[in-house]
Structure 1
């Protein structure tokens, strides 16, 4: 029987997919692509990001050295235990996987997997989900090498981050950032060359001098992120992080083949049109236009208008193609700009929307054609904006600064960037929800700087019409120092971020010593309050996974998930193959009860006074004493008659005979304020009295419930009920005793009867026993004695045969003797072989009969007993 283990995330650590490959492969001679003995100077600036484990729907993919493994996490299947290994997995094979894998990045469709090394990238076309649940083995996959001329083992620039653009058509837009600050876009359908390249760092100057004052970290790009937004240019901006902590932005940036949401394009066009009209009204002259940013707004409006023009042309082309189908689909169709598309006079309607998918339209960057070539006309280059100014500036604080101050190579290095749009606390209605963009920077010493983006970056172009270049400012709200243990290792992998799949205010930090979760909700809610004073609370930081405080076994893979099959949690993978699973709790929104007004409480209270309320009146209608006191102390408008009297009547000490109408008017205002204050106090007093009445009613209700409980207890304590319960208890005990007696008698009287078939079987076993062992008059004819005689005869003949064979080998000179010996030996050997086979058959039969007889004898003894 095959042993299986049921599916469970808690037992995932035992699966064979996490067993590292054998070290024997290291003894094989390396290929030409593996000869990379000297680290490049740029590679030592920062460690490589690692993400060797991802989840695609219900499939788990793990990278081990140069292998990509895949298994199914379907809860309906068990894991088979075979040869000491739990479960099975598929190994995705490809001739292009010749390098050590550092990152696995699936695209939005789940069909493409970017396999990233230190200097190489290969995209695998993943099989369907059904293939992962089959038996173990190798599975050949189609591979797409990305720009082998640029990304090869001999490349000078390391790959620092790879990501799929969320708006790429079919999920085919792959973006790669290298350490020299170049951000390239690759289309999987044409992967040999980059379709777009953006420069975020200037080219290194050709200088023969060995000494320079330029910080080497300022020439090393470590990470990038796509911005967020709903109406403005936020989703079109790209942030790039430099190793020294600088952040540069550039935009608008779109993939070559983009599937853009229709709602976003509509909102973007309305936003740019309204903004341009406002600036045109404010720009009175040439200098005012320059200060208001008319040139920048004009460029932005023209860029959006070019996208709208592409959509209009696509609508017209589709309309011409669909003219033959107009009569079949008489529904009216509107364009993305809200205007109806007019057809021929005979057909006033159109059939299908222009969207590539539901709610999406296909566009491409205005400076490029649909095929990727330069578009006709003059197009200005995008302007790199930055670096951003931090307020306050970043501090050189880390876990290893005190120990490594003398070593220049261990400076604090910014390793990863995180940009997220967080929804603020809910207000009184849906329209009051606000969104804030947070920016987090991870430093190699374990420090996380969390800032708030106050001003959104806007697209800019290199033009004299837009000469102003304001520097973006990012206020740093908090700096979190993660607890790192003491270590002597210098090769520590970089810190990297991972967003939470459910909550936008939570993100995770993966590093060599474990995984930490950071929640920015405490200070974000406090920041949204208008009456907030004092210091902001700190973020909630929790260490979820600990890697035994050892950098030799760093965390190399981290995945989080939230679905109905796997639940809500995360799984972390160490370099040694150890796995940790953390199950997290969902937030439960508190649906608070809105307290009714004082008038409605006074009107509704007498109506339900005669009815029994199962809930407490005090809980159903909460009382906010602090708010009531604040309304008295700080009325609107504020009450301060003394200051008003001194301000309005500086000569208030004059006699009564010199009072003017102005004095009476001011005194009237003061009297009105005093009356308003008295009215507020009376209202508060009435509210307190209503609350006291409600407390009295609640006291009466609780006393009534206590009396009902007391009556119920007294009724249970009546003699009739108590005696009945005692009778039932005694009857139950008697029935239990009788059952025990019946079971005991049945066990004592039970005697199994031997049937006719069993009796014949035992007689047959007895006859076999007599035949094998012998007994009575046939003792000499037993099978055991006959087998013993045959063994003795064979033992007597065997030495004679050996001597004859030896004599035949020793005297080969006589041809007559040799011929005579061979002729005589052949029939003898044949006869001996037949007798030997018969002896072996008899011995096996005898042994089987001995076993059967012993078993039968034991069963007879048990029956006799």
Structure 2
């Protein structure tokens, strides 16, 4: 038995699974080879590291490795630490960019630039430390749509948390189309949504003023919540920062928490009661368009929720679902989905439902159903700060979007409440915008009962900036930050970018916002990992396990691993002391802050009254008696007491006058100091202004000289071109644009390649249909033959057109 090295995160850095393959020339040539060009568009996000319980999965190039970590330790085999197994599949023929694990941990989505494959992972413990290979069952997803030469890239892949058995896979393409795939039948999407308006009116010319980033989708995410429509809303992010939302969106076969459905039903009922209260408290609004739109929208929401709740009651009573035909698919010979009776029942506390506009099999449900309304883009109020790393801040692009359901610092034993949703947007320059929706997005449909919706508002609370170690604009242009959520703290998110990993906690200002405080503290931002631009970070994963602990792993492109062990945030509210008041500076404290009070003894001061107490005080004094002496003594005592009080008050007044004189002198000194500081700042500002003006003048002079030099060089090196040559070059540019494409528009070569790949996908199905030709009649075969013939004619026309264009180009050259 080989010796064991005690397990630790430091020892994990030397694991053999992180050693890059010996031969990476193919991958290297593939990186510099011809790739589909998206001028000025964001780079692809990388996530090549996944942790499943105690299993570690890493991707290098086209290879996927898997190992199991044990608390016993890591085996030492010669100079290597530990071992791994390679997951093999005939469909892994592309460079891997992302690994996405499904909620059950049984399947792994392997994402490339244009292709997508789902692997069925071996059970836990099967990937021991011994080397070798494991042949895994794999399922390519929609090869017809996601082919190697597809004109759209895969920008975000995510498993829906409510999908039946974790089989609901959602894929966002760069053209703004959102697909849902059932992994049991991954050949075609079961639902399709468009997060962007139609591009028919978009100008395709070279001089179009429309920003191409506004039509490039980079990320999407689902909402969070406990008792409203937020979990049913989907948010889509464009490269220019626009956010569109749509809902209600539900997987075709969803296992929804029963508690959430009950809370949602109560939420909708409460909103309908508000409508009734408005009719009573504010009569006369029934005829307004705004009131009619509000009533129509909430009635449609109530009808949608009622339709979903009805499915739960039907299933509980054992009623059969409504029969319907299977939806029409693009492919040939696809098997139908298994009936619901053959599928596993939902877990306790969950109910199985499907979208009301579809049947359980995926076909259109009977009745009239309105399409969902696309809402957005969201209006930023106030606008985010225009900050970023590098000079070209205007050219930054939005790369990722996530929603944090934060509760803040909740004291122990108190109800955390519903929390608040924080939207986070990551930009290529390192900026992260944090905002909240004051009203929240709600479902809307395209109907006359609810006119065109207004754009929702997003309040941007703050914009934080990640610390990039370089100001190289080329490195920043290839940067695509992505969010990684914390497994324990819902108000903490990690930003993975090419230059490292940063942690952002929104707990400080979320707690103050929920408490109703006016001033909000900034978020806590801490850099965790720093990487070199030549070895960017390509994978970040958080974990929380008994064996591994609680921490973060970051993988560089060179195979180097960075580990961060974190502490669980458990505030002890019972021992927490109130915040101490800030200690003021002695020099800035006023000498007159103590209140000035002068008090005299209480009671009436009347010495004559004491004298009147003597006998015969109103008569002439003939003899002095003891009573007279006692009265005089009392009067003298009152006079003496009052004189002492007057002396003490006089001393206090004199001391107060001295303090006022000192305070006056202190204020004069502070004013002199402020005047000196202001004068120094004014002098420095004047010097800086004069220096800046001199630099600008010198720069203008250098620019004029440089223009003159360039003009002279151009006149010497390149002769004048005539009108005929210019028209000839313009024709060459137009032909080249039509053949190769321009500004992201596909050319003839790209279209031909896509048609060839689609034909390769369709051909096996056509052959299978031909094998059963004897079972079909002439009427059934005629549409298939017509489709194949039209596709062949189209390919022939494209080939002839390509040949003619090649001849023309050769002739012009």
TM-score (norm 2): 0.65
Specify the alignment match of 1:241 in structure 2: 237
2:447 is aligned to: 463
Per the alignment, residue 540 of structure 1 pairs with 524
Q: 1:480 Cα shift?
A: 0.7
Shift of 1:279: 1.1
Whole-angstrom distance in 1 between the partners of 2:277 and 2:515? 34
Cα 1:375–1:589, aligned 2, differ >3 Å: closer, same or farther?
same
Kept in 1: contact 2:164–2:346 (CA 8 A): no
Q: CA deviation at 1:376?
A: 1.1
Render the CA deviation track for 1:101-130: whole Å, top value 9, x for unaligned.
Answer: 000010011100000001110000000112
Give the equivalent residue in structure 2 for 1:501: 487
- The residue number in structure 2 matching 1:299 is 300
1:544-563 superposed matches below 5 A:
544-547=528-531, 550-563=532-545
SS in 1 for 2:361: coil
The SS at the match of 1:23 is coil
For 2:383 and 2:563, how far apart are their aligned partners in 1?
Answer: 37
> Does the 8 Å CA contact 2:74/2:81 hold for their aligned counterparts?
no
How far apart, in 2, do the equivalents of 1:21 and 1:37 lie?
Answer: 20
Structure 1 residue runs of 4 or more that deviate by more than 4 Å after TM superposition:
34-37, 622-626
**CA distance in 1 between partners of 2:50 and 2:580 (Å):** 52
Conserved 8 A contact 2:412-2:573: no
- Aligned twin of 1:725: none
Choose from 154, 158, 173 the match for 1:159. Answer: 154
Name the structure 2 match of 1:116.
111
| Alpha-carbon spacing, 1:147–1:355, altered in 2? closer, same or farther (3 Å) | closer
For 1:435 and 1:94, how far apart are their aligned partners in 2?
44
CA distance in 2, matches of 1:625, 1:25: 63
Q: Does 1:413 align with 2:408?
A: no
Matched, 1:564 2:546: yes
Q: Which residue of 1 aligns with 2:620?
A: none
1:266 alignment partner, SS class: helix
**Matched position secondary structure for 2:317:** helix
Q: Give the deviation of 1:212 after TM superposition.
A: 1.4
For residue 453 of structure 1, report the CA deviation from its aligned partner: 2.2
Q: Distance in 2 between matches of 1:80 and 1:282?
A: 74
**Larger relative CO (CA 8 A, sep 6+): 1 or 2?**
2
Whether the 8 Å CA contact 2:482–2:496 is kept in 1: the answer is: yes
Shift of 1:19: 0.8
Indicate whether 1:20 and 2:20 are aligned.
Answer: yes
Separation in structure 1 between the aligned mates of residue 37 and residue 302 of structure 2, nearest angstrom: 44
3-state SS in 2 of match to 1:91: strand
Contact 1:147 1:194 in 2 (8 A): yes
| Structure 1 position 42, deviation (Å) | 3.0
Instruction: State how far apart, in whole Å, the 1-side matches of 2:204 and 2:9 are.
Output: 58
The match for 2:179 among 176, 184, 189 is 184
- Measured in 1, the distance between the counterparts of 2:422 and 2:301 equals 25
1:269 equivalent in structure 2: 265
Contact kept in structure 1, 2:219 and 2:236, CA below 8 Å = yes
Give the structure 1 partner of residue 419 of structure 2. 435
Instruction: Provide the C-alpha distance between the structure 1 equivalents of 2:512 and 2:190, rounded to a whole number of angstroms.
Output: 45
**Shift in CA distance, 230/420, structure 1 to aligned 2, threshold 3 Å:** same
CA contact (8 A) 2:178 2:195 kept: yes
Say if 2:474 is the partner of 1:479: no
Following superposition of structure 1 onto structure 2, how do residues 253-332 of structure 1 map, counting pairs within 5 Å? 253-283=249-279, 284=283, 286-288=286-288, 290-291=290-291, 293-317=294-318
- Following superposition, the deviation at residue 552 of structure 1 comes to 1.6
How much has 1:27 moved relative to structure 2?
Answer: 9.4
Instruction: Give the secondary-structure state (helix, strand or coil) at the position aligned to 2:192.
Output: strand
Deviation at 1:485, TM superposition (A): 2.2
The 3-state SS of whatever aligns with 2:20 is coil
1:42–1:373: structure 2 CA closer, same or farther, 3 Å change rule? Answer: farther
Partner of 1:168: 163
Distance 2:204 2:103 in 1: 47
> Structure 1: any 5+ residue segments left out of the alignment?
321-353, 595-621, 627-865
Q: How far does residue 566 in structure 1 lie from its aligned partner after superposition?
A: 1.2
Q: Tell me, yes or no, if the aligned pair for 2:45 and 2:482 is still in contact at 8 Å.
A: yes
Post-superposition shift, 1:278? Answer: 2.3
Residue of structure 1 equivalent to 2:11:
11
Give the match's secondary structure for 1:131: coil
Task: Tell me how far apart the structure 2 counterparts of residues 156 and 319 of structure 1 sit (CA, whole Å).
Answer: 43
Partner residue of 2:691?
Answer: none
Deviations 1:296-349 (A, max 9, x none): 0000000011111111221222699xxxxxxxxxxxxxxxxxxxxxxxxxxxxx
Q: Superposition RMSD on alpha carbons, in Å?
A: 2.6
Measure how far apart 1:100 and its partner are. Answer: 0.5
Task: Say which SS state the counterpart of residue 318 (structure 2) adopts.
Answer: helix
> Structure 2 vs 1, CA of residues 289 and 425 (structure 1 numbering), >3 Å: closer, same or farther?
farther
Do 2:408 and 2:491's aligned partners in 1 also have CA atoms closer than 8 Å?
no
Q: Distance in 2 between matches of 1:289 and 1:52?
A: 52
Q: 1:10 to 1:428 in 2, by over 3 A?
A: closer
Change (3 A) 1:592 1:471: same
Aligned equivalent of 1:517: 503
CA change 1:551–1:372 in 2 (3 A) is same
1:183–1:199 CA contact under 8 A, matched in 2:
yes
Which structure is larger by alpha-carbon Rg, 1 or 2? 1
Matches within 5 A, 1:416-815: 416-426=400-410, 430-431=414-415, 433-467=417-451, 469-488=453-472, 489-490=474-475, 492-530=478-516, 532-534=517-519, 536-547=520-531, 550-592=532-574
Give the structure with the larger helix fraction.
1
Distance 1:374 1:36, change over 3 A: farther
SS in 1 for 2:316: helix
The alignment's TM-score, normalised by the length of structure 1, stands at 0.61
Residue by residue over 1:324-377, the C-alpha shift from the partner in whole angstroms, topping out at 9 and shown as x without a partner, is xxxxxxxxxxxxxxxxxxxxxxxxxxxxxx972100111100111111111111
Alpha-carbon distance in structure 2 between the residues aligned to 1:486 and 1:78: 37
Could you say which residue in structure 2 is the equivalent of 1:598? none
Question: Which structure 2 residue ranges, 5 or more long, are not aligned?
Answer: 322-343, 582-813
Q: What displacement does 1:259 show?
A: 0.4
Contact 1:243 1:413 in 2 (8 A): yes
Which residue of the other structure, out of 361, 365, 373, is the alignment partner of 2:363?
373
The 1:311–1:624 alpha-carbon spacing in structure 2 relative to 1, beyond 3 Å, is closer
SS in 2 for 1:367: coil
Separation of aligned partners in 1, 2:386 and 2:152: 27
* 1:567-607 deviations in Å (ceiling 9; x for gaps): 1111110000000111111123213269xxxxxxxxxxxxx
**1: distance between equivalents of 2:395 and 2:295?**
43
Q: Is the 8 A contact 1:103 1:117 kept in 2?
A: yes
Return closer, same or farther for 1:424/1:500 CA change in 2, 3 Å cut-off: same
Structure 2 distance, partners of 1:157, 1:523, is 39
Give 1:149's match in structure 2, choosing from 136, 144, 151. 144
My pick for the range that moved more, 61-70 or 469-478, is: 469-478
- Please say if residues 509 and 521 of structure 2, whose CA atoms lie closer than 8 Å, have aligned partners that are also in contact: yes
On the 8 A contact 1:4/1:81 being kept in 2, the answer is no
What is the distance in 2 between the residues matched to 1:542 and 1:255? 37
Residues 277, 398 of structure 1: alpha-carbon distance in 2 compared, 3 angstrom cutoff: same
How far, CA to CA, are the matches of 2:21 and 2:147 in structure 1?
Answer: 24
| Number of aligned residues | 552
Q: Distance in 1 between matches of 2:85 and 2:56?
A: 10
In 2, Cα distance between the equivalents of 1:499 and 1:69?
A: 24
Q: 1:439 to 1:623 in 2, by over 3 A?
A: closer
Partner in structure 1 of residue 627 of structure 2: none
- 1:86 deviation in Å? 1.6
Q: CA 1:526–1:623 in 2, change beyond 3 Å: closer, same or farther?
A: closer
